[in-house]
């Protein structure tokens, strides 16, 4: 299973304040919304908040409103109980797949933000 840890960075743009999500996974990959998690076919992925993440809650993780599971997720990722963790099963496939997906979260000050990282199943070896 790959776990993706989330935290928000406050970015000042002149007089405006913006938010940038930083993602780090257990495979050693990290980055902003262009982060690409590499997962094995038939595995699982979990999203968790880092300590002092600046995020109050993860509202939703999905691929698109037309097909919330997309090509890589078996179903739409689901919250684990009342915890701030989401988890999903990855499809079993013998081909390379990639999806852009969306994470909507609420910052500690109540601002709702959506970002769009990537998830990829590499080609079989």
Name the domain count of the chain.
Answer: 1
User: Region 55-71: what's the mean pLDDT?
Assistant: 82
Q: How far apart are CA 84 and CA 57, in angstroms?
A: 6
Range of the domain at 34: 2-121
Q: What is the CATH number of the domain that holds 54?
A: 2.60.40.420
| Exposed / middle / buried, residue 74 (Cβ in 10 Å: 0-12, 13-18, 19+) | middle
pLDDT at 69 over 70: no
pLDDT tens-digit map of 6-41: 999 988 888 888 889 999 999 999 998 888 999 999
pLDDT, averaged across the chain: 91
With b for 16 or more beta-carbon neighbours within 10 A and e for fewer, the 76-103 pattern comes to: bbebeeeebbbbbebbeeeeebebebbb
């Amino acid at each position: 299973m790959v776990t993706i840890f989330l935290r928000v960075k406050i970015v000042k743009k002149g007089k405006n304040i913006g938010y940038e999500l930083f993602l780090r996974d257990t495979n050693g990959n990290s980055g902003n919304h262009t982060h690409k998690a590499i997962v094995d076919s038939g595995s699982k992925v979990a999203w968790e908040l880092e300590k002092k993440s600046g995020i109050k809650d993860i509202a939703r993780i999905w691929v698109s409103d037309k097909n919330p599971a997309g090509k890589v997720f078996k179903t739409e990722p689901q919250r684990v109980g009342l915890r701030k963790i989401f988890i999903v099963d990855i499809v079993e496939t013998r081909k390379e797949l990639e999806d852009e997906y969306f994470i909507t979260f609420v910052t500690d000050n109540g601002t709702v933000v959506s970002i769009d990282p990537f998830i990829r199943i590499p080609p079989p070896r």
